[in-house]
């Protein structure tokens, strides 16, 4: 099976989920499912279809999409099974950092002041 996500790879999601992530939830099939959901969420939240226009986006915009998508997908990976972390608090701390960065990235993607920059064609 190959990565089917557009914005981020299984490996990038795995890096962010950390060493405590379960083998099942960080498997490619699961991450592909999480990425489909995350990409749809990002597109809907921003009211712009980044997926369909991905190849025309500049590198900075792609970087923000990669960060937001991998952060959100990593949250799904972690919440699937927290038993591999030293404590639930450790897993929740990682989730909180990922969530904060994902929300900051979504704010950038939605911000009208940077809309032209974000959607700039290369």
- pLDDT tens column, 101-111: 999 999 999 88
Residue 10 burial (CB < 10 Å; 0-12/13-18/19+)?
buried
What is the pTM (predicted TM-score) of this model?
A: 0.91
- Calpha distance 45→30 (Å, rounded): 22
Q: Which residue has the tokens 């699937």?
A: 80
**3 pLDDT band (50/70/90 cuts)?**
confident
Q: Which has more pLDDT, 81 or 61?
A: 81
Query: Quick one: tokens of 100?
Result: 């904060």
Residue 38 burial (CB < 10 Å; 0-12/13-18/19+)?
buried
With pLDDT > 70 as the criterion, what percentage of the chain qualifies? 90
């Amino acid at each position: 099976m190959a990565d089917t996500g557009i914005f981020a790879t299984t490996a990038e999601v795995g890096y962010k989920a950390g060493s405590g992530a379960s083998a099942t939830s960080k498997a490619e099939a699961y991450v592909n499912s999480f990425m489909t959901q995350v990409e749809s969420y990002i597109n809907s939240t921003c009211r712009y279809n980044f997926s369909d226009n991905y190849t025309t986006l500049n590198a900075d915009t792609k970087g923000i999409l990669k960060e937001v998508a991998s952060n959100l997908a990593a949250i799904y990976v972690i919440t699937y099974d927290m038993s591999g972390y030293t404590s639930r608090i450790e897993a929740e701390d990682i989730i909180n950092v990922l969530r904060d960065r994902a929300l900051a990235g979504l704010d950038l993607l939605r911000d009208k002041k940077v809309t032209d920059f974000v959607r700039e064609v290369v």
